Structures are given as structure tokens and as C-alpha cells.
């Protein structure tokens, strides 16, 4: 063997990558884009981001901040102005008293998932998390060497967890419980009484809680409730929110969280080791978003509510498809078992043969396997056309 061949065989990616998952939405998006480059007309229902423009006053604030020279490194924990505005927002929307010292700012909500799990879990610890659920939970749990313990969210409970099933999964080794409401991928919402029951159970353990509330502003009925407002929970809960979904700012990469005292320094240490800080002009735009007028947000929510009805009614009119009315976020999670198609195959063929990009429910966990996830962050005209294409496909195709 030559020395260069030896070098090549030695030059492999780390074996630890086997423990790291991914997000199928980005894989499907790449395939959809490839089809589009070949001239195929694809309707995008796969990616989870609002299709609205970032509010103009937020863009103006960013441009102004750049002109004023806010273009250098800044504090890893976040700018004081944004930590203060976020603390006020987290407090007023959850009925809590959160101090700016407990608020951290990251490049989106995602780093709090990854670093929050790494900062709390050791190999051998157990983490309870929703199934179906945002795929990064399981990926980060495995990366930390901890044991994923899925908590099923089922159709018949409108995708809220069963408190008895949560109780069965809490053990002396449970280090962290991850909750997400309103929920991706189902649009389900956990009501206050279930949160209170969960809080009572969790209070008997030594577990941390990571409450992923990035869709907190997108609940269509009833008041948003956070487990952090249940007695004794705030001091053990990472309350995660951000700008991406609420203000149509997915590409700006700015999220924030209220973090218990003991986790502030560990999580900041992860920031120092990875991203250093969130660009200060982005953070100042975030202050403008949180403190400025919310007309754009209200208009966006009204449009999402109209689309929700259109999509859910359309899906329920399809033979073999049943869809619960999602109560939050901008996803529908129809059960397609009655079509005779395996959901993975259906998602693939809808993209390749009908030009409709959706995600298979299995991308979010085993419990979601009979479902598709459709993001209704697309125009009403496109959504109607997508339903029409799915209907035609089902009428003409066999599994």
C-alpha cells in the first residue's frame, strides 16, 4: 500500500457522528429544489418556516444598527438590551418573574436544544421526549450518550401526552424531560391541567425540564400555558422561545431562553466554545421585534388560521385520510393509513409524481409512522392546488 492510500483510509469523519441524527426537512427540500431545477413545479409543504417577510421596522433596525457600527463581537450571553426585552416578554406571556440575568441569547432556538441537553445529561442518563417530536431532540440526546425515552403523542388524545404514560417513563435515572407545545409536527397543544399533572410528577424527581415554546405565539384557541408557571418548575426549567417563528425571522438566527441559575454558566461556556455570540445588529433587530408594533404578527396569525381550515378540510375530504384540527404552530399531521399507502412511500411518491413536498411522519419518531406532516406556510392558492394534486394522485395510483 502506498503512503498516500494509507492517508486516505485514515482520513475519515469521526466515528461519533454515528450518534448524530439530522432533520429530514432539509433533505426533502434539497430533493425538491433539484426537481425544480429540472423544470418540475413543486409545491413546498415540507419546510417549517413562515412564508411572510420579516416586519419592515425590524429590518430597518438591523440596517440602522449596522450603520451605527454594531458589527463586532459582543457578550456571549447576549446584549443586555435583548436579554431585558426577552425577560419582559417571557415573564408577561407566562405570568412569571424572569430576570434578565437568567435570559440567554443564541443563534436560533436550536442551540438551546443541543447545548441544553449537553449541559444537563451524562452517558447513562435518561431523557423523556415527545414522539413524534422535533428530530433534534433525539439526535442531541444520543450525541450526549444519554438514553432516549420516547413519550407517545397520539391522534386520539389530539396529540397531547397521556399523564399516566409520562409517569411510567419517569425513573430515578430521568435527567431531563423535554416538552413542546404548541407542537411540531402535529400542531397539538398541551392544556394547563395536563401540564400541572406533569409538573407534580416531575417535582418528585430530580429531572430538569426543557420546555420548547418556540410556537408560543401561534396558538389558535385557548391561552398559551407553560409548565414553567406551575409551582416549583421555573427553577428547573429551560424555557425556550425565539424570533424565528413569531416574527418570520428564521434566517436571522436568534433565539432566547430563560435558564435556571445553575445552567447559565455551562450553557454560556458552550456558546464561547462554538458561536461566540449572536451578531449584535441581529440582536438589536430582535429588540425592535419584541418592543415594536405587532400588526404584522397579528396579520400573519390570522392568515395561518384561514389556511389551517382550508388544509384540514381539504385533507379530510380525501379518501382514507383523517386529520385532526391542529391547535397551534402551522402544521397539519394527517393520518394516511386508510389510503393503503405506507406513509414513507406516499411522501416520496407525492414529491416525485405529484410535485407536492411533504414529510413522512416517521421522520419525527415511530409513533408518527402513519402520518404525513404538511407545513401550511404557503399561499392559499398553492395549498388548494396541493390538495387537488394529492386527490388526483390518490385517485390514479396504487401502493
Q: Which of residues 104-123 bind ligand PLP (CB under 6 A)?
A: 108-110
- In which residue are the cell numbers 426533502 written? 28
Whole-number minimum distance, CB 110 to ligand PLP, in Å?
A: 3
Among 174, 244, 283, 335, binds ligand PLP (CB under 6 A): 244
Whole-number minimum distance, CB 307 to ligand PLP, in Å?
A: 17
Contact (Cβ atoms closer than 8 angstroms) between residue 31 and residue 153:
no
Interatomic CA distance for residues 253 and 273, integer angstroms: 18
Determine the residue with CB nearest ligand PLP: 108
- Supply the angle between the helices 261-273 and 110-120 in degrees, to the nearest 10: 110
Q: Is 312 helix (H, G, I), strand (E, B) or coil?
A: helix
Q: What angle do CA 123, 125, 127 make, to 5 degrees?
A: 120
Interatomic CA distance for residues 385 and 383, integer angstroms: 5
Q: Does 78 help bind ligand PLP (rule: CB under 6 A)?
A: no
Q: For residue 137, give the nearest of 238, 14, 250, 243 by alpha carbon.
A: 238
| Nearer to ligand PLP (CB atom), residue 133 or residue 355 | 133
Whole-number minimum distance, CB 250 to ligand PLP, in Å?
A: 5
Q: Is 180 helix (H, G, I), strand (E, B) or coil?
A: strand
Q: Which of residues 7-36 bind ligand PLP (CB under 6 A)?
A: none
- In which residue are the cell numbers 423544470 written? 39
Among 125, 138, 155, 212, binds ligand PLP (CB under 6 A): 212
Q: Does 214 help bind ligand PLP (rule: CB under 6 A)?
A: yes
| Burial 48-60, CB ≥16 within 10 A → b, else e | bebbeebbeebee
Query: Contacts with ligand PLP: how many residues (CB under 6 A)?
Result: 13
For residue 281, give every residue at least 6 positions away whose Cβ sits within 8 Å of its Cβ, in sequence order, or none.
Answer: 62, 65, 66, 70, 71
Among 100, 135, 152, 242, binds ligand PLP (CB under 6 A): 242
Here the cell at position 232 is: 416549583
Q: Which of residues 318-377 bind ligand PLP (CB under 6 A)?
A: none
Among 55, 255, 279, 292, binds ligand PLP (CB under 6 A): 255
Q: Which of residues 139-198 bind ligand PLP (CB under 6 A)?
A: 180, 184
CB neighbour class for 35 (10 Å; exposed up to 12, middle 13-18, buried from 19)? middle
Whole-number minimum distance, CB 34 to ligand PLP, in Å?
A: 22
Whole-number minimum distance, CB 309 to ligand PLP, in Å?
A: 22
Q: Does 256 help bind ligand PLP (rule: CB under 6 A)?
A: no
Beta 43-44 vs 356-357: how paired, if at all?
parallel
Among 134, 159, 341, 393, binds ligand PLP (CB under 6 A): 134
Among 44, 46, 48, 225, binds ligand PLP (CB under 6 A): 48
Whole-number minimum distance, CB 108 to ligand PLP, in Å?
A: 3
Q: Which residues of the shown chain bind ligand PLP in the complex (CB under 6 A)? A: 48, 108-110, 134, 180, 184, 212, 214, 242, 244, 250, 255
Amino acid at each position: 500500500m502506498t503512503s498516500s492510500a494509507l492517508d486516505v483510509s485514515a482520513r475519515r469523519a469521526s466515528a461519533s457522528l454515528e450518534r448524530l441524527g439530522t432533520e429530514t426537512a432539509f433533505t426533502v427540500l434539497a430533493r425538491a429544489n433539484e426537481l425544480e431545477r429540472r423544470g418540475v413545479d413543486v409545491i413546498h409543504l415540507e419546510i417549517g418556516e413562515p412564508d411572510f417577510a420579516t416586519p419592515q421596522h425590524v429590518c430597518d433596525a438591523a440596517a440602522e444598527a449596522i450603520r451605527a457600527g454594531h458589527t463586532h463581537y459582543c457578550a456571549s450571553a447576549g446584549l443586555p438590551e435583548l436579554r431585558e426585552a426577552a425577560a419582559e416578554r417571557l415573564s408577561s406571556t407566562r405570568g412569571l418573574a424572569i430576570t434578565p440575568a437568567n435570559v440567554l441569547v443564541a443563534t436560533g432556538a436550536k442551540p438551546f436544544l443541543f447545548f441544553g441537553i449537553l449541559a444537563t445529561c451524562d452517558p447513562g442518563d435518561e431523557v423523556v421526549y415527545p414522539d413524534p417530536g422535533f428530530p433534534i431532540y433525539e439526535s442531541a440526546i444520543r450525541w450526549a450518550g444519554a438514553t432516549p425515552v420516547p413519550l407517545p403523542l397520539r391522534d386520539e388524545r389530539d396529540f397531547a401526552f397521556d399523564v399516566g404514560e409520562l409517569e411510567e417513563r419517569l425513573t430515578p435515572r430521568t435527567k431531563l424531560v423535554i416538552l413542546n407545545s404548541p407542537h411540531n409536527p402535529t400542531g397539538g397543544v398541551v392544556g394547563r391541567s395536563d401540564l400541572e399533572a406533569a409538573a407534580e410528577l416531575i417535582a418528585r424527581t430530580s429531572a430538569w425540564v426543557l420546555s420548547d415554546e418556540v410556537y408560543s405565539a401561534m396558538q389558535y384557541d385557548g391561552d398559551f400555558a407553560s409548565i414553567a408557571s406551575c409551582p416549583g418548575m421555573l427553577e428547573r426549567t429551560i424555557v425556550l422561545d425565539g424570533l424565528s417563528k413569531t416574527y418570520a425571522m428564521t434566517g436571522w438566527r436568534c433565539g432566547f431562553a430563560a435558564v435556571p441559575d445553575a445552567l447559565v454558566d455551562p450553557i454560556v461556556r458552550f456558546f464561547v466554545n462554538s458561536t461566540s455570540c449572536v451578531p449584535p445588529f441581529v440582536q438589536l433587530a430582535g429588540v425592535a421585534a419584541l418592543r415594536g408594533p405587532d400588526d404584522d404578527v397579528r396579520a400573519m396569525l390570522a392568515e395561518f388560521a384561514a389556511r389551517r381550515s382550508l388544509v384540514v378540510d381539504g385533507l379530510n375530504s380525501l379518501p382514507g385520510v383523517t386529520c385532526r384540527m391542529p391547535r397551534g404552530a402551522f402544521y397539519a399531521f394527517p393520518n394516511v393509513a386508510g389510503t393503503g399507502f405506507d406513509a414513507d412511500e406516499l411522501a416520496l411518491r407525492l414529491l416525485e409524481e405529484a410535485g407536492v413536498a411533504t414529510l413522512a411522519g416517521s421522520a419525527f419518531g415511530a409513533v408518527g409512522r402513519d402520518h404525513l406532516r404538511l407545513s401550511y406556510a404557503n399561499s392559499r392558492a398553492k395549498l388548494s392546488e396541493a390538495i387537488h394534486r394529492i386527490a388526483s394522485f390518490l385517485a390514479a395510483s396504487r401502493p
